[in-house]
Amino acid sequence: MSVIIASASSSVDEIVAQLTEAVHEHRLQPGTKLREDEVCEIFGVSRTLVRQALRSMEYDGLLTIKKNKGAFVSKPTLKEAREVFQARALLEPCTARSAAERATPADIDRLKRHINEEHDALDRDEAGLALKLSGEFHVAIAQIADQHTIEQFLRQLISRSSLVIALYWRRRNALCESNAHHALVDAIRDADGDRAEDLMKGHLLDLLSQLDLRERPEGPVSLKDALQL
C-alpha cells in the first residue's frame, strides 16, 4: 500500500498513523531504529512533533525508546509473545459471546466486509495488510459486543500480536485463516454465544500454534523504504 506524506505540514496524528500502518503491515520490522532526523525530513516537521509522535507509539507498545540510543520498533521476547496470546485468550472468547448476543444484521454485514477485504489483500500477496485487516476484524467484534474498556485493551494486544507475528510466524498461513473468521461470523449471526466463544478459543490457539517461538528473523529496513517513498 502506498503512503502519501503531507508536505511540510504533517500533524502528530498523521505521523503516528503512517508509522503505525508501516509497523502493522510489516514494512517496519521489529528492531528497526527510527532516527529522529530522518522522520523529521520525511514528514517535514520539527523534532518536537516527531518526539510527541514517537512517545505516543511507545505508549501503544509499538516502539521502545532507549535513553541515549533512540526509538526502535518493539521486539517482543518469547515470554512476551506467549503472554500476548494468553491475554487475548482470556478476553476474546467472552467478547465473541457478547457479540453473538448483540449483533444486528448491519453488524454481520460489517464483519463480512472485513473478511472480503482480508481475502482481497491475500490474493494480492499483501500479507501485512491482511494481518492488519484481521486485527481490525477482532476489534470490530469487541465493538459489536459494546465492550469499550476491553476494546481498548484488545487494540494494544492486537498491535503487539502484529509484532509477534512479524518476528515468529512460520509461514503465510500464520495469518488468521478465513475459514475461522467465517465460522465466527456464522455463530455470531445465529446468536449462538456458546459456539462463538468456543470458536474464538480454538481460533486463537490455532494462531499461536502456527508461530515458531524459537526463531527471530532479521529484517530491519530503512524508514524511507518502509514508507514506500
Instruction: Return the DSSP state at 30.
Output: T
Q: Are residues 65 and 126 in the same domain?
A: no
Q: Are residues 199 and 94 in the same domain?
A: yes
- In angstroms, the CA 154 to CA 41 distance is 33
Q: Is residue 163 part of a domain?
A: yes
Number of domains composing the chain: 2
Q: In what order do the strands lie in the sheet with 33-34?
A: 33-34, 70-73, 63-66
Q: Are residues 60 and 143 in the same domain?
A: no
Domain of 163, in residue numbers: 78-209
Q: Is residue 2 part of a domain?
A: no
Q: Are residues 52 and 165 in the same domain?
A: no
Cβ atoms of 25 and 3 closer than 8 Å:
no
Helix (H), strand (E) at residue 149? helix 148-168
Q: Are residues 37 and 129 in the same domain?
A: no
Which pLDDT score is estimated for 60?
Answer: 81
Q: Are residues 88 and 190 in the same domain?
A: yes
- In angstroms, the CA 53 to CA 72 distance is 13
Q: Are residues 130 and 102 in the same domain?
A: yes
Which pLDDT score is estimated for 15?
Answer: 92
pLDDT tens for the 229 residues of the chain, in order: 234 344 444 688 889 988 988 887 778 888 899 999 999 999 989 999 999 999 999 988 889 999 889 999 998 888 998 899 999 999 999 999 999 999 999 999 999 999 999 889 888 888 778 888 888 999 999 999 999 999 999 988 988 888 888 778 765 554 555 588 999 999 999 999 999 999 999 999 888 888 877 654 555 567 777 776 6
Q: Is residue 38 part of a domain?
A: yes
Which pLDDT score is estimated for 171?
Answer: 56
- In angstroms, the CA 105 to CA 133 distance is 21
Q: Are residues 125 and 199 in the same domain?
A: yes
